[in-house]
Amino acid sequence: MESAAPIQHRESPHEKSSGPLPPAFVDKNAPRSDHVDLKRIEKAVREILLAVGEDPDRDGLLETPARVSRMYAEMFAGLRHDPGRHLAKVFAENYDEIVLVRDISFCSMCEHHLLPFTGSAHIAYLPSGSVVGLSKLARLVDEVARRPQVQERMTQTIADLMEQRLKARGVAVVLEASHSCMTIRGIRKPGSLCLTSAVRGSFRDDPKSRAEVMDLINRPR
């Protein structure tokens, strides 16, 4: 970036250390079990096939229940791990300006229809003495994505993890996604995009800082 006037973010509320700390982030989708009952999914898929009038014993469908059960285990793998683990390893670095990774593709599952929503995540943060490997941000997005959820909560989950595990002084997360529950069924509007954002710390408190990061996120590709 051609010397985008560095803003001093040293007045972040985290560094004033007066006032109470924000309540610890509670991950409502926190991993509960590391076991997926594949057989149970298989039975359920077979039931669905019967319910729609199909013959689950015909050739083409014979292995479908088992295949679908493995697919769900993969799509929901994020329920079995703490996505914040990717932020555990940091590197001490005396850099206190914006770090932004744009266009991290993801695929998640809408919890209302169990249909995928796919798109890109953009994550920016203001480090406080240490930075995280850039690929870890992509891993974080991947793991948070692999749960049944709504885009709004996914956005907040990523922002909260960044703020609390990384102790970032500012965090901005923007997600844009196409929801198949809107494009292939119901209202059927292909091309519609849903945008959500969550900002924390100085990106929320300081309008100049917020404008700077949103400008970087929206910079033409």
Interface residues toward Zn ion, by CB under 5 A: 110, 112-113, 181
Instruction: Answer left, alpha or beta for residue 109, where phi above 0 means left and psi between -120 and 50 means alpha.
Output: beta
14 is catalytic: no
Q: Which is nearer to Zn ion, 128 or 178 (CB)?
A: 178
Q: Which is nearer to Zn ion, 7 or 181 (CB)?
A: 181
CB 83 within 8 A of CB 150: no
212 is catalytic: no
111 is catalytic: yes
Contacts of 17 (CB under 8 A, 6+ apart): none
Q: Which is nearer to Zn ion, 151 or 157 (CB)?
A: 151
Could you tell me the smallest distance in angstroms from the CB atom of residue 189 to Zn ion?
A: 13
- Of the residues 9, 151, 163, 212, only one is catalytic, namely 151
> What is the spatial distance between Cα 83 and Cα 14, in angstroms, rounded to a whole number?
23
What spatial distance separates the first Cα and last Cα of the chain, rounded to whole Å? 13
- Of the residues 9, 122, 179, 212, only one is catalytic, namely 179
179 is catalytic: yes
Q: Which is nearer to Zn ion, 90 or 181 (CB)?
A: 181
Could you tell me the smallest distance in angstroms from the CB atom of residue 149 to Zn ion?
A: 10
Could you tell me the smallest distance in angstroms from the CB atom of residue 76 to Zn ion?
A: 16
Q: Which residue has the tokens 């849903």?
A: 194
Q: Which residue is nearest to Zn ion (CB)?
A: 181
Could you tell me the smallest distance in angstroms from the CB atom of residue 70 to Zn ion?
A: 23
- In terms of residues, how long is the chain? 221
The count of other CB atoms within 10 Å of the CB of residue 6 is: 10
Residue type for position 105: S
Q: Which is nearer to Zn ion, 24 or 187 (CB)?
A: 187
Q: Which residue has the tokens 């250390």?
A: 17
The count of other CB atoms within 10 Å of the CB of residue 212 is: 22
CB 212 within 8 A of CB 98: yes
State the Rg of the chain over Cα: 20
- Of the residues 110, 143, 149, 163, only one is catalytic, namely 110
- Of the residues 113, 156, 176, 194, only one is catalytic, namely 113
110 is catalytic: yes
Could you tell me the smallest distance in angstroms from the CB atom of residue 15 to Zn ion?
A: 41
Residue type for position 75: M
Catalytic positions: 110-113, 151, 179, 181
